[in-house]
Amino acid sequence: MTKPVFPISADGYQRHVIHTRERHWAETNCYVDVWIELLHAWGFDPIAAMPFTVAIDFEGDQWTFFKFPHTDLRSLYGLDIQELAIWQPLVKHVEEQVGLGRPVLVELDSFYLPDTEGTAYRREHTKSTVAAVDIDVTNQRLGYFHGQGFYELSGEDFVKVFRIAGPHDPAMLPPYVEFVKRRANRGATGRELVNTSLSLLKQQLTLIPETNPFEKFKTRFAADVDWLMTEPMEVFHQYSFATLRQFGACYELASLYFDWLGAHDVAGLEVSRDAFGLLATGAKSMQFQLARSMARKKPINLSPVDDMAATWQTAMNHLKSHVLAS
């Protein structure tokens, strides 16, 4: 039996406060949610690693699928993330890396992830990133972070999720997999953690979009609405995930980050905190409006996107004057 990376169980695990407090966007995306809990299990504060949330953009057919930058995780916590080459059965790689004390971030089929019961579990084949940190191949059991918590699967789910049974299908390509090495450096703490985070924020502010992303989004959104009115509600969920949910969830984390800075005696960022909060709530409201419009086959009012554009500009001007200038 392979030694688990963390001495935790699904029954007794305490989630990070981000995943226990009431939020407009309970879930962000699979990669960010997994990392929040993974960092928390290591004893790190994941909020310190959220400067990247200010620099997302509208990419033409989606908003940035935001992720913790690997370089930031190294600077703050001494973590080294490497891609894992899959040249033998996936389960063997996971077993070996977990045995070395390294979490394995791997795309698995939610059809076999029991924590998605009521949505994808045994209903829909869709990939999602989990962090495997405990595995017992003999007894067919996996302990993994996914979404907002820590879970376990076993038996048939184990066999199916690792595709152990049945003949090898050459058309089934291996998933993208990463493993995490923890360096001897224990990571920044206290004031050093705050200062390192502020340094990363300054770097991210040099990467913010040159053009207001909401102006670009409104043009594309207006064109997409006519097409969406002819599509089933399943398409609404896909479209919303790639657009409204991405920037809404991301900017809610940004608001939380500036609240965290304020709690650590970094003053003067309330304007940006509140602006990002408005963007998060605006995205949620727009999602409801879009769903109603599609259900009723009626036009949607796009003027709130203009308000979002102005709010975004206010936040960026404030950050440039209060952070970059300091």
pLDDT digits (tens, 9 = 90+) for 106-153: 999 999 999 999 989 999 999 999 999 999 999 999 999 999 999 999
Interval 26-52: pLDDT, tens = 888 989 999 999 999 999 999 999 999
Rounded to an integer, what distance in angstroms lies between the CA atom of residue 79 and that of residue 69? 11
- Burial of 60 by CB count in 10 Å (0-12 exposed, 13-18 middle, 19+ buried)? exposed
In the chain, residues under CATH classification 3.90.70 are 17-43+79-182
Architecture, CATH, for domain 17-43+79-182:
Alpha-Beta Complex (3.90)
Q: What local confidence, expressed as pLDDT, does residue 173 receive? A: 84
Read off the pLDDT of each residue in 91-110 and give the average, rounded to a whole number.
97
Burial 17-43 (b: 16+ CB within 10 A, else e): ebbeeebbbeebbbbbbbbbbbbbbbe
Contacts of 314 by beta carbon, 8 Å cutoff, 6+ apart:
271, 275
Share of the chain above pLDDT 90, in %: 86
Interval 203-233: pLDDT, tens = 999 999 999 999 999 999 999 999 999 999 8
The per-residue DSSP string of 19-71 comes to GTS--S-S---HHHHHHHHHHHHTT--GGGG-GGGGS--B-SSSB------HH
Read off the pLDDT of each residue in 312-323 and give the average, rounded to a whole number.
95
Interval 259-279: pLDDT, tens = 999 999 999 999 999 999 999
Asked if 249 contacts 221 with a C-beta cutoff of 8 angstroms, the reply is: no
